[in-house]
Chain A
Amino acid sequence: MSVMTYIGAIGAAQREAMQADPRVIIIGEDVEANVYGTTGESKQRAESGDFVQAFGKMRIRNTPISEEAMVGAAIGAAMTGLRPIVDLSYSSFLYMAMDQFVNQAAKNRYMFGGQSRIPVVFRSAMFYGLNTGAHHSDRPYSMFMTIPGLKILTPASAADAKGLMRSAVESDDPVLIFEAVPLWGQKEEVPDEEYRIPFGKARIRREGTDVTVVGISGSVPLALQAAETMAERGVSCEVIDPRTLVPLDSAAILESVKKTGRLVIAEPAHRTCGAAAEISALMAERAFPWLKAPIVRVTAANMQIPFSPVLERQMYPTRDKIADAIAKVAGH
Chain B
Amino acid sequence: MKSIRLENISKAFGWIKALDDISLQINEGEILALLGENGSGKTSLMNVIAGIYHPDQGDVFIDDEKVTISSPKDAFKYKIGMIHQHFKLVNVFTAVENIVLGLEKSDYKKFKEEQIKTEEEFFAKLKGVREPSNVEVANAKSRIYHSGKYDLNFARQKVIQICNQYGFKIDPDKHVYDMSVSEKQNLEIVKALFRGVDLLILDEPTAVLTPQEIKVLFKILKNMKADGKTVIIITHKLNEVMEISDRVEVLRKGKYIGGVKTSETNPAQLTEMMVGKKVELEIRRDTPVNPDLRLEINNVTLVKEGVKVLDNVNLQVNGGEILGIAGISGSGQKELLECVAGLQKAKSGDIIFHNPKENKPVTFFHKDLKQIKELAAQGKFHDPDGNKIDLTGLKDKEIRKMVEEEKIIFYENEIMPLNDKTPLEIRNLGIKLSFVPEDRLGMGLVGEMNLTQNMALRSFRKGKGMNVEMKKPERLAEHIVKEFGVVTPNLNTPVGRLSGGNIQKLLVGREISSNPKILMTAYPVRGLDINTSYYIYNLLNDQKNARCAVIYVGEDLDVLLALCDRLAVIYQGKITGVVDPHKVTKEQVGILMTGGSIDA
Q: Is A bound to B? A: no
Interface residue ranges, A against B (CB under 8 Å): none
Interface residue ranges, B against A (CB under 8 Å): none
